């Protein structure tokens, strides 16, 4: 009973604490890519990440970008599929529940994953033979005094990878006891782990050997072992291999469908990504260096070394496995071009093995209950480590990164100056400590736009409920705790629907109707574009850009390939010469309508083939003739093509109007524009020059509608005189044409 109480208390305490520091912001391009892929799958069935194109383009190093274009020209992520699959239910919940935003819902995933990891660690420590209070202490240390704490504010894949690797170890541990379900758990988790990052295949062998190697190697006989109970052995082998092989096959098919090869994951090896750093530099940097060394960022894990020596006497096989996995993970990333893990707190890639290192603390903590000096040492290291995590949790790392980048980064070498890796004064810990000592305001989401108490109250309430349930232990305590957690999570996520960013994206969401592909040529919305619940592709580019900008041009081709409706979101004024994307749309697509929202112009175009101007006209409006026109009527709208021709040089910049009339002459829809949206002003036309405008009127119209066409001189505020093809003047200076 005490065991169940402690598990419940651990879960509620940690999740409550995580809700206190929870944020809806995704501060890494990695997390944005993972969520963009999940949102795109949920909303239009393709794992593309065009929505973060503008953010991706801001990265100064080309091979650091998340976007990799597939064989079909679509923008895919180089990140693994498994984290996006985890985020899929959160996206679906956000789409179904009006009080949930996409980012706010998705950012709940890491607190839940980290809490689950602590609970799994609790169970594993119990399996190793240690008491519940020791398991509780290990789970608490992992959840609050290691890298796990600051990473609950992120959306990286490593927290999930840490959980999967721990579960794989637990499955192998059970497999050694003869439970074939442990083999299945280990195989499935290793397969999913490869879906976080393919480098994780380097860990498979160690887990497999541990699961199959006997406890007494001296008595080992491969022939006798295989002969005894071969059916059970075959079932266990199948339980391990089949889920692992299925996951690896799905990863291969996913890569093949995107990039034409099962081994092509989208990483930019040709541009500089790869295993290019010196091994010793990476080993030092990952473990000992003040820049990102684990010894600095989670000092409590220094106790894992004596803890491992104690564990080796009690559980030699498990100790060997934990050490082998820690070594394999370290070696796998020590030579990676960015072993630091990008913009992150501490050695991000070592977060995967932090639960295993925390498990090594169990024998030391078990002994500390009866040894005061040892207990004081454990508490001291844990307290110091907790303080380091608070520095990384309560302050954004970006100001320090920007300062370091501005002063010590050599762009030509794509590397920092050597002293960055060895000088403690340049460590993020030192920088954040200086912020704290200077009284810098904490960066908490519930204080960003004025004090909002929902979030801290929900976190505190959940921790309190957990304590009460653990103390009283009612029969349905786990179910009650689950309901309390669900209520707290929902309240915290719903509380994020405030602030200017939320209002801007809500205004954009309301204006983008009817739905269509969204091309946001702006960085003003940053990652909030992920909150757009549009059942169509969304992609963004920087603006201004040049037509030959590699990333912008590729995304633009992808947008055109979608066909159908396309919304251009732009901050440019009409007919701006630098807005090549709008110019391209006016030249090749049919214009539908324009709206204003969130400080931007929203222009709807139809990329479907426009009707050919196959009907002769000949009506003249001042110096301009309607040479030909074409009409196509469909259930989704009326498409019109008009071809103008200059008879003589126009004296000013004139504008045309096209009205859709019902039988009574009432206007059902209309457009009033300069030619090609102002990109072909009539003052520049030459005699004989033709200009073609393409229009679309969204919606259904009766077959009896007619078109009213004319031209106006905006400067004079009057229509240009109109004439029939035979030259007879038209009394009202417009022409009405049947469809």
| pLDDT of the residue at 234 | 76
Q: Above 80 in pLDDT, residue 235?
A: no
Predicted confidence (pLDDT) per residue in 414-459, tens digit: 678 889 999 999 999 999 999 999 988 898 988 877 788 899 999 9
58-97 core/surface letters (b: 16 or more CB in 10 A; e: else):
eeeeebbbbbbbbeeebbbbbbbbbbbbbbbebbbbbbee
Of the candidates 140, 567, 546, the one whose C-alpha atom is nearest the C-alpha of residue 361 is 140
Q: Above 80 in pLDDT, residue 222?
A: no
In degrees and rounded to multiples of 5, residue 7 shows phi and psi of -60, -45
Which residue reads 């989704």 in tokens?
636
Strands (E), 57-147: 67-69, 75-77
Identify the band that residue 217 occupies on the pLDDT scale cut at 50, 70 and 90: very low
Predicted confidence (pLDDT) per residue in 579-589, tens digit: 999 999 999 99
Average pLDDT in the 154-160 region? Answer: 97
Percentage of the residues of the chain whose pLDDT score is greater than 70: 97
| pLDDT of the residue at 225 | 52
| pLDDT of the residue at 220 | 46
Average pLDDT in the 681-701 region? Answer: 94
Select the more confidently predicted residue: 98 or 473.
98
Q: Above 90 in pLDDT, residue 686?
A: yes
CA distance 739 to 737: 7
Identify the band that residue 214 occupies on the pLDDT scale cut at 50, 70 and 90: low
Predicted confidence (pLDDT) per residue in 391-404, tens digit: 999 999 988 988 99
| pLDDT of the residue at 716 | 85
CB 66 within 8 A of CB 267: no
Predicted confidence (pLDDT) per residue in 582-615, tens digit: 999 999 999 999 999 999 999 999 999 999 999 9
Q: Is the dihedral of CA 117, 119, 120, 121 positive or negative?
A: positive
**Both tokens of residue 545?**
């850009």
| pLDDT of the residue at 384 | 97
Select the more confidently predicted residue: 663 or 143.
143
Burial category of 728 from C-beta neighbours within 10 Å (exposed 0-12, middle 13-18, buried 19 and up): exposed
User: Which residues, 6+ apart, have CB-to-CB distance to 489 below 8 Å?
Assistant: 19, 108, 112
Average pLDDT in the 252-280 region? Answer: 89
230, containing H or E segment: helix 230-259
Residue 352 pairs with which residues in a beta bridge?
Answer: none
Which residue reads 């996520």 in tokens?
493
Identify the band that residue 239 occupies on the pLDDT scale cut at 50, 70 and 90: confident
Which residue reads 């939320």 in tokens?
502
534-546 core/surface letters (b: 16 or more CB in 10 A; e: else):
bebbbbbbbbbbe
Q: What is the rounded average pLDDT for all residues in the chain?
A: 92
| pLDDT of the residue at 126 | 95
CB 659 within 8 A of CB 667: yes
Q: Above 70 in pLDDT, residue 294?
A: yes
Long-range contacts of 680-688 (CB under 8 A, 24+ apart): 681/575, 681/653, 682/624, 682/646, 682/650, 682/652, 682/653, 682/654, 683/650, 683/651, 683/652, 683/653, 685/624, 685/646, 685/649, 685/650, 686/646, 686/649, 687/646, 687/647, 687/648, 687/649, 688/645, 688/646
Q: Above 80 in pLDDT, residue 287?
A: yes
Identify the band that residue 216 occupies on the pLDDT scale cut at 50, 70 and 90: very low
Predicted confidence (pLDDT) per residue in 323-381, tens digit: 999 999 999 999 998 899 988 999 999 999 999 999 999 999 999 999 999 999 999 99
Please spell the DSSP secondary structure of 76-123, one letter per residue: EESS-SHHHHHHHHHHHHHHH-TT--HHHHHTTHHHHHHHHHHHHHHH
Length of the chain: 739
Q: Above 70 in pLDDT, residue 227?
A: no
| pLDDT of the residue at 631 | 94
Q: Above 70 in pLDDT, residue 232?
A: no
CA angle at residue 411 from 405 to 417, to 5 degrees? 60
Identify the band that residue 218 occupies on the pLDDT scale cut at 50, 70 and 90: very low
Identify the band that residue 720 occupies on the pLDDT scale cut at 50, 70 and 90: very high
Q: Above 50 in pLDDT, residue 219?
A: no
282, containing H or E segment: helix 279-287
Q: Above 50 in pLDDT, residue 701?
A: yes
Which residue reads 């100056």 in tokens?
417
């Amino acid at each position: 009973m005490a065991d169940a109480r402690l598990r419940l208390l651990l879960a509620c305490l940690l999740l409550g604490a995580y809700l206190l520091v929870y944020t809806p912001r995704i501060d890494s391009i990695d997390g944005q890519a993972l969520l963009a892929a999940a949102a795109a799958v949920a909303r239009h069935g393709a794992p593309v990440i065009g929505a973060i194109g503008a953010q991706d383009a801001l990265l100064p190093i080309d091979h650091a970008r998340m976007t990799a274009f597939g064989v079909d020209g679509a923008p895919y992520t180089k990140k693994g599929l498994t984290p996006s699959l985890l985020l899929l239910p959160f996206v679906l919940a956000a789409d179904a529940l009006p009080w949930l935003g996409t980012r706010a819902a998705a950012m709940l995933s890491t607190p839940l994953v980290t809490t689950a990891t602590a609970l799994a660690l609790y169970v594993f420590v119990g399996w190793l033979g240690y008491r519940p209070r020791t398991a509780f202490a290990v789970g608490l240390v992992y959840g609050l005094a290691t890298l796990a704490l600051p990473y609950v504010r992120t959306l990286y894949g490593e927290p999930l990878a840490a959980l999967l690797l721990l579960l794989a170890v637990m499955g192998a541990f059970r497999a050694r006891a003869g439970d074939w379900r442990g083999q299945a758990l280990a195989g499935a988790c290793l397969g999913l782990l490869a879906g976080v990052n393919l480098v994780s295949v380097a860990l498979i062998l160690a887990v497999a050997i541990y699961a199959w190697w006997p406890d007494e190697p001296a008595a080992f006989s491969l022939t006798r072992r295989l002969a005894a109970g071969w059916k059970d052995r075959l079932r266990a082998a199948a339980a391990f291999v089949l889920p692992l092989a299925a996951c690896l096959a799905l990863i291969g098919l996913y890569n093949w469908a995107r990039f034409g090869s099962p081994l092509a994951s989208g990483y930019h090896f040709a541009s500089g990504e790869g295993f290019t750093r010196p091994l010793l530099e990476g080993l030092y940097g990952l473990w000992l260096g003040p820049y990102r060394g684990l010894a600095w960022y989670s000092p409590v894990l220094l106790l894992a070394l004596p803890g491992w020596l104690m564990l080796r006497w009690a559980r030699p096989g498990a100790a060997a496995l934990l050490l082998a996995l820690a070594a394999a993970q370290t070696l796998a990333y020590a030579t990676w071009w960015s072993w630091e893990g990008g913009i992150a707190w501490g050695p991000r890639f070592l977060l995967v093995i932090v639960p295993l290192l925390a498990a090594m603390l169990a024998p030391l903590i078990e002994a500390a209950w009866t040894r005061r000096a040892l207990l004081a040492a454990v508490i001291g290291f844990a307290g110091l480590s907790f303080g380091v995590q608070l520095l990384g949790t309560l302050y954004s790392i970006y100001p320090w990164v920007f300062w370091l980048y501005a002063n010590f980064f050599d762009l030509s070498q794509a590397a920092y100056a050597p002293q960055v890796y060895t000088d403690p004064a340049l460590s993020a810990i030192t920088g954040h400590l200086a912020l704290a000592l200077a009284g810098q305001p904490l960066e908490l989401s519930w204080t960003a736009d004025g004090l909002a108490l929902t979030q801290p109250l929900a976190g505190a309430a959940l921790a309190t409920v957990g304590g009460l349930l653990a103390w009283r232990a009612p029969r349905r305590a786990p179910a009650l705790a689950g309901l309390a957690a669900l209520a707290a999570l929902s309240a915290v996520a719903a509380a994020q629907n405030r602030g200017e960013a939320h209002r801007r994206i809500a205004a954009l969401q309301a204006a983008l109707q009817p739905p269509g592909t969204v091309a946001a040529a702006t960085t003003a919305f940053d990652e909030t574009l992920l909150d757009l619940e549009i059942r169509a592709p969304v992609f963004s580019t920087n603006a201004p850009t040049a037509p030959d900008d590699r990333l912008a041009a590729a995304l633009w081709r992808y947008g055109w390939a979608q066909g159908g409706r396309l919304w251009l979101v732009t901050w440019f004024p009409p007919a701006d010469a630098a807005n090549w994307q709008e110019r391209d749309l006016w030249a090749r697509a049919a214009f539908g309508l324009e709206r204003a929202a969130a400080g931007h112009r929203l222009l709807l175009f139809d990329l479907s083939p426009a009707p050919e101007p196959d009907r002769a006209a000949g009506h003249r409006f001042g110096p301009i003739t309607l040479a030909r026109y074409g009409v196509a009527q469909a259930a989704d709208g009326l498409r019109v093509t008009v071809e103008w021709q200059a008879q003589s040089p126009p004296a000013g910049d004139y504008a045309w109007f096209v009205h859709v009339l019902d039988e009574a002459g009432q206007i059902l829809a209309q457009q009033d524009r300069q030619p090609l949206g102002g990109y072909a002003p009539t003052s520049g036309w030459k005699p004989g020059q033709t200009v073609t405008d393409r229009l679309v009127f969204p919606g259904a119209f009766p077959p009896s509608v007619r078109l009213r066409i004319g031209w106006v001189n905006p400067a004079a505020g009057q229509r240009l005189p109109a004439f029939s093809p035979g030259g007879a003047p038209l009394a009202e200076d417009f022409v009405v044409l049947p469809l």
